[in-house]
Amino acid sequence: MNPLDEMFARCRSEGRAALVGYLPVGYPTYEDSVAGMLAMVDGGVDAIEIGVPYTDPGMDGPVIQVAVDQALRGGSRVAHVFDAVRTVSARVPSVVMGYWNPVEKYGPARFAADLKAAGGAGAITPDLIPEEAAPWIEAAREHDLAPVFLVAPSSTDERIAAVGRVNRGFVYATAVMGVTGARREVGSRAEELVARVRAQTHLPVGVGLGISNGEQAAQVAGFADAVIVGAALVAALRDGGPDAVRTLTEDLAAGVRR
C-alpha cells in the first residue's frame, strides 16, 4: 500500500478525518522550514505537503507567494525538496506540492525516481490536468507514487470523473474559487463538491484553501476525509517560528478529532 492509503485507513479506523499541513521548503531558511514541518508532526498532522518553491505561483495568495519568493532568493532548489522529504517521511507520509514546470524541467521520470528514493508518497500538481499528464502518470505508476490532481466547485462531473480515474491517494478538492489563503469562513460549496466527488470515485476527498483554525477544521472534518491547511501554517511560521506552527497544528488536530 502507498503510505497515503495506510494513513487514511488508520484515520478511518479512528473515526475521524486526516489533517494535512503544508509548508514550502526554504522559508524563511531551509533549516527553519524543516523545523516547521517537524513541529507540525509534533502537533498532530497525519501527512505533510512539502512545497516546491516556484517563480510563478499563480494559484497562491500573498502569504505563500512571499514565502516561496524568499525561499528562492535564499537558494532553495528541488534538491532541497528531496532532502526535506527524506527527513519528514521518516515520521509521517509526505507528498510534494508544486507547479508542473519544475517537475517537467527536472524530468518526470527522474523526479519520480528521486521522490520515491527520498521516501515520498506522491505529488500534488495544481496546474496540471490529467489529459496533459501522461508522462507524469506513467512515472508515478512505475515508482508507486500517488499523482494527485485538483477539482474545484466549477469542475464538471466529467472532469471530476476523469480526475477520479487517474488519482491515487486522494482527490484534492478546493473549497473556494480563487487563490490560496486563510479565510474567515470555509467556502459554502465545499460540502456539495465533496458529495459530487464521492459520486464519481471511492478515493478519499481532502478539502483545502481557506482553513485557518480548529473550528473550521472541525467543520470540514464533518464532511471530508482530509482537512488541508497551508497559508495559515506559513503565516504561523513567519510570525512565531516552529513553536507557533506546533500550537496552531495542535488546535487544528483537536478540530479534526472532535
pLDDT of the residue at 61: 86
Confidence of residue 181 (pLDDT cuts 50, 70, 90): very low
pLDDT of the residue at 149: 97
Strand partners, 205: 171
158 tagged catalytic: no
Strand partners, 94: 48
Q: Are strands 94-97 and 226-229 parallel, antiparallel or unpaired?
A: unpaired
Confidence of residue 82 (pLDDT cuts 50, 70, 90): very high
Average pLDDT over residues 107-136: 97
State the average pLDDT for the chain: 94
**Has residue 28 got a pLDDT over 60?**
yes
Interval 216-255: pLDDT, tens: 999 999 999 999 999 999 999 999 999 999 999 999 999 9
Grid cell in block for residue 210: 481557506
pLDDT of the residue at 59: 80
Q: Which of 213, 210, 212, 218 is nearest to 256 (CA)?
A: 218
Query: Choosing from 5, 42, 46, 60, which is the catalytic residue?
Result: 60
Query: Choosing from 32, 46, 49, 191, which is the catalytic residue?
Result: 49
pLDDT of the residue at 56: 87
pLDDT of the residue at 183: 46
Helix (H) or strand (E) holding 88: helix 78-88
Grid cell in block for residue 37: 514541518
Q: In angstroms, rounded to a whole number, what is the distance separating the alpha carbons of residues 213 and 162?
A: 32
Q: Which residues of 64-92 are buried (b: 16+ CB within 10 A; e: fewer)?
A: bbebbbbbbebebbbebbbbbbebbbeeb
Average pLDDT over residues 143-152: 97
What single DSSP character describes residue 187? -
**Has residue 57 got a pLDDT over 80?**
no
pLDDT of the residue at 22: 98
CATH of span 3-14+41-256: 3.20.20.70
Predicted structure pTM score: 0.94
Interval 136-147: pLDDT, tens: 999 999 999 999
Interval 62-78: pLDDT, tens: 999 999 999 999 999 99
Grid cell in block for residue 111: 523526479
60 tagged catalytic: yes
